[in-house]
Structure 1
Amino acid sequence: MNKLEIRHLERVEFEPTWRAMQDFTARRTAETPDEIWLCEHPPVFTLGQAGKPEHLLRDIGVPLVKIDRGGQITYHGPGQLVVYLLLDLQRRGLKVRELVKRIEQALIDLLEEYGIAAERLAGAPGVYVAGAKIAALGLRIRNARSYHGLCLNIDMDLAPYAAINPCGYAGMAVTQMRDLCDETNVQRVAARLLQHLQAQLP
């Protein structure tokens, strides 16, 4: 069984957390245990390494950070659960595409517990409910080790999404758990999602 350290960071600024992920990944060795970090961030837009700046439609005073994950632009804010997966894929025998599918499945299984029918959309990583995005996913792989991860909308102000094309899709609807069930507790969802993620990881 591959050891997995869990870190509950609570609400932390995005950029220092990203730098800490980079540093952890650069310093880790073949013996370093994998880690999962769970947190929330203050309002911030993040733009993936191949992201197009025009997907930020207007300035609403939310900072934009250009980062090194895949994907386009997304939003993080209070009430959204962010889960960073710092995994040695080679040691776990995982290919990137398989890891993405396993993360998506963990989210789908979690939401099913709440009576929410979630699904994948072909060609658009993440998890959707009736065509509206509820969870986004973006990874960076360096030397067969992953960082970045997923974000799940739970109980947040969705208004900032109107200032972007979420994940590069114009007009894409977004949703959150609060609007689909009676769950608004980020820590409770985090604990349940963690169980599903651990079940999906070899």
Structure 2
Amino acid sequence: MDTALPELPPAVAQPTSPAGHPWVLRDWGRVPWPQSAEAMQAFTAARGPETPDELWLAEHDPVFTQGTAGRPEHVLAAGDIPVRPSNRGGQVTYHGPGQVLAYPLLDLRRRGYFVKELVHRIEEAVLRTLAELGVTAHRVVGAPGLYVRLADPFGHARLPPAAPGEDPFRGLGKIAALGLKISRQGSYHGVALNVAMDLAPFGRIDPCGYVGLHTVDLASLGVVVEPTAVARSLATHLIRQLD
């Protein structure tokens, strides 16, 4: 692969985290998924010990991406939406307009933590972003991402662990999906937060490999907000949580 770094959108900010870590924040706007995926891979291959960590925000044209654990039977009826292989972890998911993508490109050696903690920190940033909008999201053990109670997305009751043999997703809808790639101690890919989407394409797949998993967005929960506002909030929380 040619690791020459492609042209990147200009930095919209160069924030410093509360712990003093420098960041570069870039907003790709709406961009085809393969373009940003190839740019992330090239950036990670080219970065050196002094390269600042970056956070990329994006929105994508409709696409199904199939992670390294993906199985073709989980793509039920792709139709006119392309299916692209991805080197992130996990299985199939959908990206499309009205969804906020946040891609933290981190030097994990410099940060001093490993993948499990990185996942937890990204999830925490999403939890706090949603909480600002009044939505209570939950983690499900063994299923990265964030989920809401379909019957009470604004309630604050804790989510009890599923009993043995019980469907862990019963009564839940997935609002954010997470998938990462680590190369040379650098992380890329990231998290997708559903804001105001056409949710129908999720019915053409088993989202993240789970048969019948319900998918929601903020709009379907009755929360009317612009994706750009959610992206700004998520970026702020990610920079704080990833210190």
Consecutive aligned runs of 4 or more in structure 1 exceeding 6 Å deviation: none
What RMSD over aligned residues (CA atoms) do the two structures have, in Å? 0.8
Q: What are the equivalent positions in structure 2 for 1:69-148 lying under 5 Å apart?
A: 69-130=88-149, 131-148=172-189
Q: Distance in 1 between matches of 2:137 and 2:78?
A: 31
> What is the aligned partner in structure 2 of residue 23 from structure 1?
42
Report if the CA contact (8 A) 1:114-1:181 is conserved: no
Cα distance, 1:67 vs. partner?
1.0
Residues 53-110 of structure 1 deviation map (CA, whole Å, 9 limit, x = unaligned): 1100113210000110000000000000011111001101121000100100111111
Structure 1: gaps of 5 or more residues: none
Identity of aligned residues (%): 50
Cα distance, 1:6 vs. partner?
0.2
Q: Which has the higher helix share?
A: 1
Report if the CA contact (8 A) 2:71-2:91 is conserved: yes
Cα distance, 1:199 vs. partner?
1.3
Q: What are the equivalent positions in structure 2 for 1:179-190 lying under 5 Å apart?
A: 179-190=220-231
**1:192 partnered with 2:211:** no
Secondary structure of the residue aligned to 1:140 is strand
Cα distance, 1:171 vs. partner?
0.1
> What is the aligned partner in structure 2 of residue 62 from structure 1?
81
Give the letter aligned to residue 52 of structure 2: P
Structure 2: gaps of 5 or more residues: 1-19, 150-171
Cα distance, 1:170 vs. partner?
0.2
Give the letter aligned to residue 154 of structure 1: V
The structure 2 residue matched to 1:167, chosen from 199, 203, 208, is: 208
> What is the aligned partner in structure 1 of residue 6 from structure 2?
none
Q: Distance in 1 between matches of 2:210 and 2:191?
A: 18
Q: Distance in 2 between matches of 1:48 and 1:61?
A: 20
Cα distance, 1:182 vs. partner?
2.8
Secondary structure of the residue aligned to 1:87 is strand
Deviates more, 1:49-58 or 1:133-142: 49-58
In the alignment of these two chains, the number of paired residues is 202
Report if the CA contact (8 A) 2:78-2:205 is conserved: no
| TM-score in terms of structure 2 length | 0.82
Q: Distance in 1 between matches of 2:78 and 2:115?
A: 34
| TM-score in terms of structure 1 length | 0.98
**1:201 partnered with 2:220:** no
Deviates more, 1:148-157 or 1:191-200: 191-200
Give the letter aligned to residue 236 of structure 2: Q
Q: Distance in 1 between matches of 2:200 and 2:126?
A: 23
> What is the aligned partner in structure 2 of residue 177 from structure 1?
218
Q: Distance in 1 between matches of 2:223 and 2:66?
A: 31
**1:150 partnered with 2:191:** yes
Q: Distance in 2 between matches of 1:148 and 1:198?
A: 15
Q: Distance in 1 between matches of 2:178 and 2:50?
A: 27
